[in-house]
Structure 1
Amino acid sequence: MSLGSRWRRMMRSEGANGLALVSPAALYAILLLAVPLCVIFAFSFWTQDYLTIDRTWTLKNYTEAFTEPLYGELLRRSILISGSVTLVTVVLAFPIAYFVSFYVAPERKSLWIFLITIPFWTSYLIRVFLWKVILGYNGVINTSLQGVGIIEEPLTFILYNANAVVITLAHAFAPFAILPIFVALEKIDRSLIEASLDLGENRVTTFLRVTLPLAMPGVVAAVLIVFIPTIGDYVTPRLVGGPDGLMIANMIQTQFLKLNNAPMGATLAIIAMASVTVIALAFVGLNRRFLRGPK
């Protein structure tokens, strides 16, 4: 068989067809994801003097990042805020997804999903500013509580701090948590729940031993979908967080745009991504161990 015949035969094979199908997506991912990440990684080992980039490789940025207390404090605060947002969002999203999946008529589920996605219709900035109005010193919450006599002076702990960031981000990312949990609940075979009840389990134990374990893939997806982007959010902390609500992304933005120190900004970005990766992998590993159960 000639070389040309072999080439034509190989191009007609299933492997070649599969490669042709995934090539556009792979090229897209390489150009828009892998290449920028490699550039950021390279920047983290360089230094900058105003507009001049010194491409001599050095660990100076990493040394400063790990020894400067401010950077560590911002990273710890970011992880804590993002973890709190994830916990609040998933805990509140699960009952909604459960209700839609188990108690809403099949012909009306699409309407409920449609209503859940309504927050996406408005700009993210508009939603943040609305929460600023709601949580403000003379905002809706304080005015209402004062009007009914519950408080005498406006509450000051609900705006320009970490609490405001958690509330705002939890509302913004609620649909991202509801939808994957709903999909996981929809895949559960209802006969398994009926069998559990027929075997003497009550609804609580059935939920804990049947429904929740089977819905865990959706819960894990919701946790990752909420946790990963919120730790990198810098708009919400800037608008409603105040000095006590700023996160590591705000420092990265400052390094890039205000201090003209792109290498340090890249270093902080790499450290933040590495931290998120470790936490995400640890969570997934613990979840698999939990579902596997004791040996």
Structure 2
Amino acid sequence: MAADNRSEAAQGLSLISPPLLYSVLVLAAPLATILAYSFLKDGYLTVIREFTLENYLSVWSDPIFHKVMARSLVVAALVTLVTVALAFPVAYFLSFVVAPERKSLWLFLITIPFWTSYLIRVFLWKVILGYNGVINSGLKSLGIIEQPLTFILYNVNSMVITLAHAYAPFAILPIFIALEKIDRSFLEAGRDLGENRLMTFWRVTLPLAMPGVVAASLIVFIPTIGDYVTPALIGGGKIPMIANLIQAQMLDLDNRPLGSALAVSAMIIVAVVSVIFLFLNRRFLKVKQ
């Protein structure tokens, strides 16, 4: 029996070894390099290999870091809220309204944005929201406005719109999967007990779909907070986020230790926020039960 267990363990290890090695090479190694750089000193166009905590002291005492990090958290939270709020009705429609034989077609259509580069989609939104873009040109031709609208580009609003569109499929799919796993007999039982559709949704459907909502929220929130392209193009460089600050230190100022300390600090903050979000969600589910 013990030999069988060892053989099964060896087979399992052989199966996971290739992806594990790949993960170590492409993820763990770069993270370890950044972590190591964050404890080194910066010299002129070089890195002095001496241990120091000055980079972290500089980061955490810098009011610019506080402001940019707070802005990044707020923008990421807004994008997450808007994306999940728009994705949930779409996922609900796919799960409860669309005929089973047509769900695969709808899922195929949802994945179409993945066919184009993320950078191209950002540029398209810049064309749509620009001063002489589709929206302003259309409103001017209809005589609704005389001067181009200035509040739809190079601000937080345009960044939220662009990022919400970019990450919408990532939010729709996990919510759809969670809704598909719900036993429809639970909903029928709720209605048999006299609950209307709204209360059945609030007391049954939403709590059971929360794992998908949580997954969608984290999938959107974590990459959004580190987005570099959208703040640079749609924000016009006027609303930098933490990724832009890291890029400036790493490339423009060639201060890799300080840039690494910024990156590690941002990762720690995102991890803490994510854990708090998971904890609050667990408390919410306990209350609902």
Q: Give the TM-score, by structure 2 length.
A: 0.95
SS of the aligned residue for 1:22 comes to: helix
Letter in 1 for 2:258: M
For 1:45, the equivalent position in structure 2 comes to 39
Letter in 1 for 2:176: F
CA–CA distance in structure 1, aligned partners of residues 18 and 160 of structure 2:
38
Gaps of 5+ in 1: 1-5
Letter in 2 for 1:71: F
CA–CA distance in structure 1, aligned partners of residues 264 and 97 of structure 2:
45
For 2:13, the equivalent position in structure 1 comes to 19
Deviation at 1:119, TM superposition (A): 0.7
Pick aligned residue for 1:288 from 263, 275, 282? 282
Query: Could you say what the CA RMSD is over the residues aligned between the two structures, in angstroms?
Result: 1.6
Gaps of 5+ in 2: none
Residues 250-259 or 174-183, more deviating: 250-259
For 2:206, the equivalent position in structure 1 comes to 212
SS of the aligned residue for 1:13 comes to: helix
CA–CA distance in structure 1, aligned partners of residues 187 and 45 of structure 2:
64
For 1:3, the equivalent position in structure 2 comes to none
For 2:217, the equivalent position in structure 1 comes to 223
Preserved contact between residue 161 and residue 243 of structure 1 (Cα < 8 Å): no
For 2:134, the equivalent position in structure 1 comes to 140
Letter in 1 for 2:157: N
Preserved contact between residue 40 and residue 266 of structure 1 (Cα < 8 Å): yes
- C-alpha distance after superposition, 1:18-57 (max 9, x if no partner): 2222222222222222222111111111122232211111
Preserved contact between residue 203 and residue 288 of structure 2 (Cα < 8 Å): no
Letter in 2 for 1:111: L
SS of the aligned residue for 2:238 comes to: helix
CA–CA distance in structure 1, aligned partners of residues 4 and 206 of structure 2:
47
- C-alpha distance after superposition, 1:98-157 (max 9, x if no partner): 001100000111111011111111111111111001101111111222333333321111
For 2:158, the equivalent position in structure 1 comes to 164
For 2:196, the equivalent position in structure 1 comes to 202
What is the correspondence of 1:65-214 to structure 2 with a 5 Å cutoff?
65-214=59-208
Preserved contact between residue 174 and residue 215 of structure 2 (Cα < 8 Å): yes
Deviation at 1:11, TM superposition (A): 8.8
Deviation at 1:261, TM superposition (A): 0.5
Residues 158-167 or 96-105, more deviating: 158-167
CA–CA distance in structure 2, aligned partners of residues 201 and 11 of structure 1:
51
Preserved contact between residue 220 and residue 284 of structure 1 (Cα < 8 Å): yes
Pick aligned residue for 2:266 from 269, 272, 281? 272
Deviation at 1:294, TM superposition (A): 7.3
SS of the aligned residue for 2:234 comes to: helix
CA–CA distance in structure 2, aligned partners of residues 244 and 280 of structure 1:
27
SS of the aligned residue for 1:150 comes to: coil
Residues 64-73 or 113-122, more deviating: 64-73
SS of the aligned residue for 1:213 comes to: helix
Preserved contact between residue 177 and residue 223 of structure 1 (Cα < 8 Å): yes
Preserved contact between residue 69 and residue 241 of structure 2 (Cα < 8 Å): yes
CA–CA distance in structure 2, aligned partners of residues 143 and 291 of structure 1:
48
